[in-house]
Amino acid sequence: MSLSLASFSLEALLPYIGIGFAAQLVDGALGMAFGVISSTLLVSAMGVPPARASAGVHLVEFFTTGASGLSHILHRNVDWKLFGRLAVPGVIGGVAGATVLSHIDASVARPFVMAYLALIGLYLFYKAFHYPSEKLHDEARITMPLGLIGGFLDASGGGGWGPVVTSNLLLQGTDPRKTVGTVNTAEFVLTFAVSATFIFNSGFAAFTTVTGGLLVGGLLAAPFGAWFAKRIAPRHLLIMVSIVLMATSSFAIYKALA
């Protein structure tokens, strides 16, 4: 799958465009799961080697998070005060995670993190059915540790920013729509910091048919995710976040222990 005109035929791109579109639609609307969904489908359904899938997904996220963030800004889904409190520690955690990854295998802790996220998903699911019709949302109290941990796990474990940060902010009672939009927008800054070194060192060698298709699909879906997040009722948004969180975490635990 080298970079050539032949490799970018529409027939070859279509399956990867579909995967990128579906993954980004979920991620843009719920603030998580682009990496998990796209990597899982690439490896299990398309037979892409895990290392190539991971490299392609990471590179694509550099562009899709930018498009998704811009869309959330236009739909006024971003809390800029919260954005600053997440983005700066997120970058620090991401750089630290990328450094650690080059020396030790940080994936050993992944099953424990996923188990924690699955429990949070269960709690959010319960909370959604007790969500008042008229709710005054709370301001996030714990943000910098979330940014640090989310950024670290995203860089060292191949994903984790959305599930860790979005779910924990929702636990604190924040507005679901603003939370999803802000976390998505802050992820662009994190992805830029983590991906810049990869692009600088490797260029666009990983820009294959896989990456090209994911990028096209992800960019096409980015505006729709923000639109959905703005219009879905908070209770329904909470239910969908909890289901995605439980499903992806359970699958990750199964894969890690299998």
Q: Which residue has the higher pLDDT, 108 or 248?
A: 248
Q: Is residue 160 part of a domain?
A: yes
CA distances in angstroms from 87 to 14, 140, 190, 191, listed in the order given: 34, 14, 7, 10
Between CA 184 and CA 187 the distance in angstroms is 5
- What pLDDT, on a 0 to 100 scale, did the predictor assign at position 5? 40
Does residue 120 lie in a domain region?
A: yes
Tell me the residue length of the chain: 258
* Tokens of residue 165, six digits: 């940060």
Residue 202 lies in a domain: yes
> What pLDDT does 60 receive?
84
Q: Considering the domain boundaries, does residue 207 fall inside one?
A: yes
CA-based nearest residue to 74, from 165, 183, 185, 162: 185
Tally of domains within the chain: 1
80-117 pLDDT tens trace: 999 999 999 999 988 887 677 656 655 566 677 667 77
Share of the chain above pLDDT 70, in %: 80
The reply to whether 233 falls in a domain is yes
pLDDT, average across residues 30-38? 78
* Spatial CB neighbours of 44, under 8 Å, sequence gap ≥ 6: none
How does pLDDT run across 131-188, given as a tens digit for each residue?
666 666 778 888 999 999 888 877 765 567 887 888 889 888 888 889 989 998 998 9
Q: Output the average pLDDT for the chain.
A: 79
Can you give the residue range of the structural domain that contains 25? 6-257
Question: What's residue 182's pLDDT?
Answer: 94
Helices and strands counted in the chain (H then E): 10, 0
Residue with tokens 């080697």: 49
Give percent above pLDDT 90 in the chain: 13
**Residue 202: which pLDDT band, with cuts at 50, 70 and 90?**
low
SS (H, E, C) 148-193: HHHHHHHHHHCCCHHHHHHHHHHHCCCCHHHHHHHHHHHHHHHHHH
Instruction: Identify the burial level of 5 via C-beta atoms within 10 angstroms of its C-beta, where 0-12 means exposed, 13-18 middle and 19 or more buried.
Output: exposed
Q: Is residue 209 part of a domain?
A: yes
Structural tokens at position 9: 């035929």
Residue 1 lies in a domain: no
